[in-house]
Amino acid sequence: MKRNEIDFTVGERKVLILKIIKFVVPVILAYLIMQLYSSADLLFISNFIGKEGAAAVGASTSYIALAIGFFNGLTAGAGIIYARAYGAGNIEVQKKIGRVVFIMSCTVGSALSIAGFISAPFVMKLLQTPAEVLDMASLYAGLYFLSIMPMMLYGMSSGILRAVGDSRTPLIFQIISGGLNILLDWLFISTWTNPIAGAAVASVISQGVAAVGTHIYLKKIEKNLVAEEKAEPVDNPDLPTETGEITKQIFSLGVPLGLQSMMMTFSNVVVQANVNSLGINVMSAFATESKVEMAHWMVASSFGQAALYALSQNIGAGRYYRVRATIKCILSVSVPSAIGIGIFTYAAGRFLYGIFTPDPSVVDLGMTILIFTTPFYAVYDFMEVITNSIRSYGKTKAAMAIYLVFIAGLRIAGMIIFNLTGILNIYTVSVVYPISWIGAALCALIYWKKIYRKKEKELNG
C-alpha cells in the first residue's frame, strides 16, 4: 500500500469497514472546510459591504450552482472510469485518463468561465434581481465565474485521487485554499475600492492555488497510482483504452449527472418560490434549516462517494462478487450514522436554530420541519449509497431518471398540487421531502437488484 491510497478490491468485512471510514472522514472534513470558508465569505461581505453585498452574493448563488453542478457530473464520470482502471491495474489507461482530464478541465472550464462572465448581467436581470443590487450581483457572478476553470481542474484532479481511495490529499489542498481565501477576503474586501470585486477575485486566486497544487501532486505520483502491483492488468472489455473512447465515456457518464444536478437546482428554486409565498418566518425557517441539517448532507454525500469509487474499483478488477458485500459494509456504517445524526439534530434543534436566528417563532417553525425530515435521514443515506452503486455500473442515465422523477419531479408536482388545492403550508412542503426520498430509495433498490442479477447471469453464463 502506497501513500494515502485505499484499495477497496481486497480485505474482509472488518478491514473493509475501516477502509470506508478512513476514506469518508477526510471527505466530510473537506465539505466542512468548504462550508466554513463560504460562511467566512458572507461574513466579510456582510460586515464590510452590508446587506446589499450579502443580497448580491445570494442572488448569484443559483446561477453559479448550475455551472458547478455540471462540471461535478463530469468529475464523477472521470472518477468512475479512473477507479475502474485502478482496480484493473491498468497504469497506461490511468495516465491517459489523467491527460484527458487536464485537457477537459482547461477547455470545458474555460468555456464555462467565459460564458458565465459574459452572460452574468443578462442572467441576473432574468432572475429578477432587485435593481439596487443588480450591478453588484452581475459583477460578483461574472468575476466568480472566472474561478470555474481552476475549480474544475481541482475538482477533477481530486476526483481522480478519491477514485484510488486518497481522500486525504484533496482535504489538505482544500484547507490551504480555504485559509488563503479567508486571508484574501479580509485583505481585498477591506482595502479595495470595489469590495464585492475583491471577494470574487479572492475566490479565483484561492481556487487557482488549489487547482495547481492538486494537479502537480497528481502528476508526480501518476506512475505509481496503483495500490498493489499486479503482474498483468485485468482484461476488462468495458474499460476504454483510447483517448477518444475515454473522452466519450466521461461525457456519457458525466453529462447525465450534470443535468441531474442542474435539474435539482431548478426544483429547489421552484420549492423556494412557493416557500416565499408563505411569509418571512417560514422563509427564514427553511433558509436556516439547510444550515441546521448540513451535517447530515455532508455525511450522506461522503458515503455516496465511498460507494461510487469502492464499487467502481471492484468492477474494474472484475471482482463483482465483492459488490454486494461492499454495499452492505457501507450501509452498516452510513445508516447508523444517519440515525444518530437525526436523533441529535432533532434533540439539539432549538439550540442549533438559535445559533442562526433569535426569533422564537422561526425556531418553532424550524422544529416543525425537523419533525418531518430527521426520522428519514437513514432513508436518504440508503438512497445515496444505492444510487451511487447504480452509477458505478455505468448506469448514470438511470440514476438521473430516478432523481428527476422522485426528487425533482415529485417536489415540483407537489408544489403545483398544493397550490391548486389551496393546502400549501409548512406541513405540506416539509412532507414532500421524506416522500421523495422514500420513492427514490425504493425505485433505486429495485433497479439495482435488476442490474446486479443481470450481471450475475452474464458471469455465470
Q: Are residues 188 and 215 in the same domain?
A: yes
pLDDT over 50 at 226, yes or no: no
Q: Are residues 259 and 237 in the same domain?
A: no
Query: What's residue 399's pLDDT?
Result: 92
Instruction: List phi, psi (to 5°) of 7.
Output: -95, 110
Q: Are residues 30 and 110 in the same domain?
A: yes
Query: What's residue 28's pLDDT?
Result: 93
Q: Would you place residue 18 in the very low, low, confident or very high pLDDT band (cuts 50, 70, 90)?
A: very high
Q: Are residues 282 and 168 in the same domain?
A: no
Nearest to 373 by CA among 436, 442, 310: 436
Number of domains in the chain: 2
CA distance linking residue 82 with residue 150, whole number of Å: 20
Residue after which a domain boundary falls, among 241, 268, 301: 241
Q: Would you place residue 227 in the very low, low, confident or very high pLDDT band (cuts 50, 70, 90)?
A: very low
Query: Angle at which helices 51-88 and 13-48 pack, to 10 degrees?
Result: 160
3-class SS of residue 143: helix
Query: What's residue 437's pLDDT?
Result: 94
CA distance linking residue 379 with residue 19, whole number of Å: 23
Q: Kindly report the average pLDDT of the chain as a whole number.
A: 86
pLDDT over 60 at 445, yes or no: yes
3-class SS of residue 309: helix
pLDDT over 70 at 232, yes or no: no
Residue after which a domain boundary falls, among 183, 212, 241: 241
Q: What is the mean pLDDT of residues 259-266?
A: 81
CA distance linking residue 184 with residue 203, whole number of Å: 8
Instruction: List phi, psi (to 5°) of 49.
Output: -110, -35
Q: Is residue 259 part of a domain?
A: yes
Q: Is residue 249 part of a domain?
A: no
Q: What is the mean pLDDT of residues 96-110?
A: 90
Measured in residues, the chain has a length of 461
Q: Are residues 185 and 47 in the same domain?
A: yes
To which residue does cell 501532486 refer?
217
Query: What's residue 1's pLDDT?
Result: 40
Q: Is residue 362 part of a domain?
A: yes
Q: Are residues 298 and 236 in the same domain?
A: no
- 122-150: per-residue pLDDT in tens? 888 887 777 888 888 888 889 989 989 99
Query: What's residue 62's pLDDT?
Result: 74
Range of the domain at 86: 1-241
CA distance linking residue 106 with residue 333, whole number of Å: 37
Q: What is the mean pLDDT of residues 2-17?
A: 85
- 281-312: per-residue pLDDT in tens? 887 788 778 778 888 989 999 999 999 999 99
Q: Are residues 294 and 440 in the same domain?
A: yes
Q: Are residues 280 and 226 in the same domain?
A: no
Q: What is the mean pLDDT of residues 178-194?
A: 87
Residue after which a domain boundary falls, among 213, 241, 269: 241
| Top mean-pLDDT range of 26-40, 42-56, 88-102, 159-173 | 159-173
More confident residue, 341 or 185: 341
Query: What's residue 2's pLDDT?
Result: 52
Q: Are residues 270 and 207 in the same domain?
A: no
Q: Would you place residue 228 in the very low, low, confident or very high pLDDT band (cuts 50, 70, 90)?
A: very low
Burial zone of 272 (CB within 10 Å; 0-12 exposed, 13-18 middle, 19+ buried): middle
Query: What's residue 3's pLDDT?
Result: 62
Q: Give me the sign of the Cα torsion angle 331, 378, 77, 218.
A: negative
Q: Are residues 327 and 202 in the same domain?
A: no
* Beta carbons within 8 Å of 434's beta carbon, 6+ residues apart: 372, 373, 375, 376, 379
Instruction: List phi, psi (to 5°) of 201.
Output: -65, -35
Q: Are residues 103 and 155 in the same domain?
A: yes
| Top mean-pLDDT range of 103-107, 204-208, 339-343 | 339-343
Q: Are residues 319 and 364 in the same domain?
A: yes
Q: Is residue 250 part of a domain?
A: no
User: Are 6 and 19 a contacting pair, CB within 8 Å?
Assistant: yes
User: Are 153 and 109 a contacting pair, CB within 8 Å?
Assistant: yes
pLDDT over 80 at 49, yes or no: no
Query: What's residue 239's pLDDT?
Result: 81
Q: Would you place residue 461 in the very low, low, confident or very high pLDDT band (cuts 50, 70, 90)?
A: low
pTM of the model: 0.88
User: Are 53 and 46 a contacting pair, CB within 8 Å?
Assistant: yes
More confident residue, 74 or 49: 74
Q: Is residue 448 part of a domain?
A: yes
**Which triple of cell numbers denotes residue 365?**
417553525
